[in-house]
Amino acid sequence: MTEVSHTPRVFSGIQPTGNLHLGNYLGALKRFVDSQEEGISSIFCMVDLHAITVWQEPQDLRHATRELAAGFIASGIDPTKSILFNQSQVPEHTQMAWVFNCVARMGWMKRMTQFKDKAGKNAENASLGLFGYPALMAADILVYHATHVPVGEDQKQHLELTQEIARKFNHDYETEFFPITKPVIEGAATRVMSLRDGSKKMSKSDPSDMSRINLTDDADTIARKIRKAKTDPEPLPDSVEGLENRPEARNLVNIYAALADSTAEAVIADHAGQQFGTFKPSLADLAVAKLAPISEEMARLMQDKAEIDGILKNGADRARAIAAPILKKTYQIVGMVGA
Ligand code: AQP
C-alpha cells in the first residue's frame, strides 16, 4: 500500500517524574525548541498517565508536572507558538490507546526492552499499564497525526512499535488514515551517558545524584558534578576515532558539542591534546552559561502555579480541538455507532 503524505506535525512527550536532567534537555527539550523555531506545528506533552505506570506519590506528581511545564518554558518552548499541556487533560489519548491495545499484539509488547528493564526480574508484579505503555505512546502521537517525533535514542524501539501499530491499523481497516511517523533522533547527544559510568544512560532514576546534571541544579552544583565526572587518565585525542573505547571521554565531548550547537569533530579539533584538568573547567563554564539561566527561570515560574495551570489548560483545549476529530474518524473507521 502506498503511504499518503500528511501535513508535518511534531509531537513529543516527557514523563513528569522529577529530576529533569541534561539527557532530557539535550536529547529532547533543546530539540523541541529547534522544531518550534523552524515553524513546524508542534505539540508537547507532560505524559502524566505514563508516569503512573510506576508508583507516584500524588503530591510529587503534581509538583513534577508543574516543574516540567516550567522546564519546557524555561528551555524556550513558547506556549503561544507550540501547544503545551498534560496528557490527562486530553481524554482522547486514552480513548485512542484502547483502540491500539486491540491492534497491538502481545508478542510485540513482550519484546520492548524498556518494559524488561523497568519490570526487572519481577515482571509478574509490574502494572498492566507498564506493559501497555507503548500503545498509549502510539496513541499520544497518532491522535494528532504527528509525522515527526524528536526523541533520545532510548525511545527508538517504541517509535518503531508506533509505526507497526499504524501499519497494522491501516492494513486491517484498508485505509491510509494514520501516518507512518518518523522518529527524529539527531544531534551530538541522542544518548547522554551517566557522569559516573559511561556505559549507562544518564537517568532520573539513578540513585546517585552525581551521575546526572539536573535542570534545577545551581551553577556551583553543575560545576562540581562536571569536575568530579569519571574520566580516564589520557588527554583528549586528535580525532573522534580516538574516542573509541573511551566512553566517559566521548560522553563529555558529546555533551560539549551539543551544548555548543557544534559537533564532536569540531570540539576535538579545538581541544585535541588537552588534559581533563583543562577540558572539564571549559565544559563546566559552558554548561553553567547554558543551564543556569534555565534553572533560574524554572524557579521563577514555579512561584506562580496558577499561571502554569492556566497555560496547561489552554494547551489542553487546543490539543483537544485537534485530537477529537481524529478520534471520531478512528471510531467511524472501526465501526462504532454514534461516532
Ligand atoms: N540520557 C539521555 N540522553 C538523551 N535523551 C534522553 N532522554 C531520556 N534520557 C536521555 C529523552 O528524554 C525524553 C523524555 O524521556 P522520558 O520522559 O521517557 O524520561 P525517561 O526515559 O523516563 O528518563 P530517564 O531519565 O531515562 O528515566 P528512567 O530513569 O525512569 O529511565 C525522551 O525523548 C528520551 O529519549
Same domain for 220 and 169: no
Task: For residue 181, give the nearest of 215, 155, 146, 211 by alpha carbon.
Answer: 146
Report how far apart, in Å, the C-alpha atoms of 132 and of each of 121, 169, 284 are.
18, 17, 40
DSSP code string of 55-99: ---HHHHHHHHHHHHHHHHHHT--TTTSEEEEGGG-THHHHHHHH
pLDDT digit string (tens) for 132-164? 999 999 999 999 999 999 999 999 999 999 999
Residues 135 and 274 in one domain: no
**Using a 6 Å cutoff on CB, does residue 179 contact ligand 1?**
no
* 158-171 confidence digits (pLDDT tens): 999 999 999 999 99
* Domain annotation covers residue 202: no
- Does 238 lie in the same domain as 160? no
- The 10s digit of each residue's pLDDT in 179-196 is 999 999 998 899 999 999
| Judgement on whether residues 178 and 285 belong to the same structural domain of the protein | no
Q: Which domain holds residue 133?
A: 9-190+307-334
Say which CATH number the domain at 283 has: 1.10.240.10
Which residues are part of the catalytic machinery?
A: 118, 201, 204
Residue 4 confidence (pLDDT):
63
Tell me the H-state helices in the chain.
22-24, 30-37, 48-51, 58-75, 92-101, 106-110, 113-119, 128-142, 156-172, 219-227, 247-259, 264-271, 276-301, 305-334
What band does 1 get if pLDDT is binned at 50, 70 and 90? very low
**287 is a domain residue:** yes
161 with 184, same domain: the answer is yes
Cβ(149)–Cβ(183) under 8 Å? yes
Cell (9 digits) for 269:
579539533
Is residue 226 in some structural domain? yes
Spacing, Cα 113 to ligand 1 middle (Å): 14
State whether 236 and 173 are in the same domain: no
Give the tens place of pLDDT for each residue, 275-305. Answer: 999 999 999 999 999 999 999 999 999 999 9
Number of folded domains that form the chain? 2
The answer to the question of residue 234 being in a domain is yes
Residue 200 lies in a domain: no
CA–CA separation, 322 vs 102, rounded Å?
23
pLDDT tens string 206-257:
999 999 999 999 999 999 999 999 999 999 999 999 999 999 999 999 999 9
What's the 263 CA to ligand 1 centre distance in angstroms? 22
Same domain, 147 and 265: no
Ligand 1 mutation target, pool 10, 20, 22, 24, most atoms within 8 A of CB = 24
Pocket lining: 23 vs ligand 1, CB cutoff 6 Å: yes
- Rg of the chain over Cα atoms, rounded to whole angstroms, equals 21
Work out the pLDDT band at 121, boundaries 50, 70, 90. Answer: confident
One domain for residues 283 and 312: no
The finding on whether 27 has its CB within 6 A of some atom of ligand 1 is yes
Does 289 share its domain with 163?
no
Q: Answer whether 155 contacts ligand 1 (Cβ < 6 A).
A: yes
Both 214 and 128 in one domain: the answer is no
The closest-lying atom of ligand 1 relative to the alpha carbon of residue 47 is 17
CATH number reported for the structural domain that contains residue 139 in this entry: 3.40.50.620
Domain membership of residue 30 (yes or no) is yes
* Domain-embedded: residue 71: yes
- pLDDT bin (cut points 50, 70, 90) of residue 19 is confident
- Asked if residue 162 and residue 27 are part of one domain, the reply reads yes
Nearest-CA residue for ligand 1 atom 22 is 15
Write down the pTM of the prediction.
Answer: 0.94
- Asked if the structure places residue 107 within a domain, the reply is yes
Tell me, in angstroms, the distance from the centre of ligand 1 to residue 14's CA. 8
C-beta of 50 in contact with ligand 1 (< 6 A):
no
What are the two backbone dihedrals, phi and then psi, of residue 128, each rounded to the nearest 5 degrees?
A: -65, -35
